[in-house]
Structure 1
């Protein structure tokens, strides 16, 4: 099933993990949606892929996508 084309505006939190020795990127609005990378850019690239897969799976299962919550920067 293809993901609908609208843009999704979910906040991504990125932190360095000393334990994993990697950057960890997490999407708080999508439970369990996270990825890591050896660089900041790699973590962002990886979490974008995982986010698309998370959304695709949710839609295939007939679940309603959570609305993105307000982030740190007001609209």
Structure 2
């Protein structure tokens, strides 16, 4: 069984990308039957990890923006 999914990585939610990445890593640890399958899994895993990183960076930017807005609001009240 292969953890590879045909869904384009750039359309996955953070949770979907993370869950698929866990499956890919597990399958790589067990050893894919062929080198070609191992390479395909590794490439998919790299893309999934990058997608998760994009989501995390986006979340970080949103938190920073919310904190900056809250700080600006606090300064306006002073």
Q: Using structure 2 for the length normalisation, give the TM-score.
A: 0.34
Structure label with greater radius of gyration: 2
Structure with the larger RCO, 1 or 2 (CA within 8 Å, 6+ apart): 2
Q: Using structure 1 for the length normalisation, give the TM-score.
A: 0.35
Greater helix share, structure number: 2
Greater strand share, structure number: 1
